[in-house]
Chains A and B, each alone.
Chain A
């Protein structure tokens, strides 16, 4: 009963907020609706017992990716008149895209109704895990035994992407003076100050 009620609450909020992502006029509102959608999708994951995936969804998408989205979108200077002007120009392209997506949706549902595609029988012993094992242990056990090479390849690809992003954006800055913490910490009073104990009435030489 509670599962059913919460499923319908989560599911309807996901759909409604996903629609609002498109319909909201303000890009910042769109990003915020997207966050609501992510969050409720995580709720759906919890309902089917995939609590680890749910937490990852919140940590990665809501906690990091969407913050950066928001960070960028907040700094946009939004001119609503210009947005509407662009609307008329882009209508044909948008319509085309909508027709293609709708056709794919119909095809997908049709194929699903027609029955599963034969992709061959699953190999023996593929991913059978008892329900008593916690999510994390089950996923970890599979990732580090059966799929260890694919997992490490994914890690390598991410590393390459990260290094690539740094190489592309890194610029040597000229003319700026950075702070050297270690030299500041090592600096002693004797290096910077001089006690002259000057008699009254005489100037000092700087």
Chain B
């Protein structure tokens, strides 16, 4: 895109700057639209699981429901509790929302279509997703209220616990792909199985960690069955209890942008990203971005499916799963994968 702006007669630096701004807008604005539609899709899915109709009043088939909700929230009064820490109270949702958008910078949407093709892409995603906890923790503390505070404590412990096993799972993938570059990891999956299936997940050695990563990503985004930070039967609405109007909407948008990001990560790391499922020439006629979106939607269906059907974990069970089950298994898997790659001469 930089060369396009250069052809308009700009200097290289000005062209690069304009291209980056344009790229950010090209990712962020459709992402917001996608979040609105995905919320609608998820509500329809839950309704289908519960044999209900779901939103069906606003617009054809209720498609405009999310936009109506957004407008309603926008017109509400912003209430800031008088005992709260005003500045931090308002910054917290902004942090959640911004962090949810930042990680999309290194996601490749098609071959070479990526805002920032950096060598440490996977580490960048890990770094940014570890920032997500601050929005929740600051919101819980700044609200100066009991339930949000409990929720903040839970969120801090939960996200740190599951980041550990996510880190080990990413190491396995990086070992196999030989690069931290997200695009390089996708390319590493080209004709990976039997010379024609483009996905790490069908590798018998990587399939178990694909499942573990799916579960960990649900815990990392605090989705059901791990949504203990906003368990309504115990904590009212968790860290969001004191929030209203746009601040609440920012939490909501950020949460769903995070869920979409985790779906995209699952698709990229284990299911071949923008590559078609099978390495067969006619399938490449379909643009990579279509395959990528199809895979994201498939992962999102799994997320919605789990949320609609699985009961919530208890907090000690959540901690046990993270530290006593996932951590040892993923650590062992790093040994297993690196040993296998060593013996088969993968690094030669």
Contact = CB atoms under 8 A, between A and B. Distances in A.
Interface string A158-195: 00000000000000000000010100000000000000
A134 B156 contact: no
Contacts of A70: 134, 137, 156
A205 to B, nearest CB: 35
A51 B119 contact: yes
A63 B127 contact: yes
A64 B13 CA distance: 36
A59 interface: yes
Nearest to A51: B120
Interface string B303-321: 0000000000000110010
Residue with the greatest number of chain B CB neighbours at <10 A, chosen from A56, A63, A68, A74: A63
Determine the interface band of chain A, counting residues with CB < 8 A from chain B.
20 to 34
A48 B10 CA distance: 26
A21 interface: no
Contact of B127 (A1, A58, A71, A134): A58
A71 B119 contact: no
Interface string B44-70: 000000000000000000000000000
B174 to A, nearest CB: 9
Contacts of B160: 64, 67-68
A74 B88 CA distance: 13
Contacts, number: 68
Contact of A55 (B124, B141, B163, B320): B124
Given A51-B120, A58-B127, A181-B320, A74 B137 contact: yes
A51 B120 CA distance: 7
B118 interface: yes
Contact of A32 (B124, B138, B163, B316): B138
Nearest to A70: B137
A101 B276 CA distance: 61
B180 interface: yes
A58 B130 contact: yes
A74 B152 contact: yes
B137 A67 contact: yes
A39 B123 CA distance: 15
B119 to A, nearest CB: 4
B88 A63 contact: no
Nearest to A58: B127
Contacts of A71: 137, 153, 156-157
A2 B21 CA distance: 13
Contacts of B163: 63-64
B107 interface: no
Contacts of B134: 35, 67, 70
Contact of A59 (B123, B149, B317): B123
B20 to A, nearest CB: 10
A136 B163 CA distance: 21
Contacts of A7: none
A58 B131 contact: yes
15 contacts: A2-B16, A2-B17, A28-B141, A55-B124, A59-B126, A62-B131, A63-B130, A64-B160, A64-B163, A67-B156, A71-B157, A74-B153, A134-B119, A136-B119, A136-B180
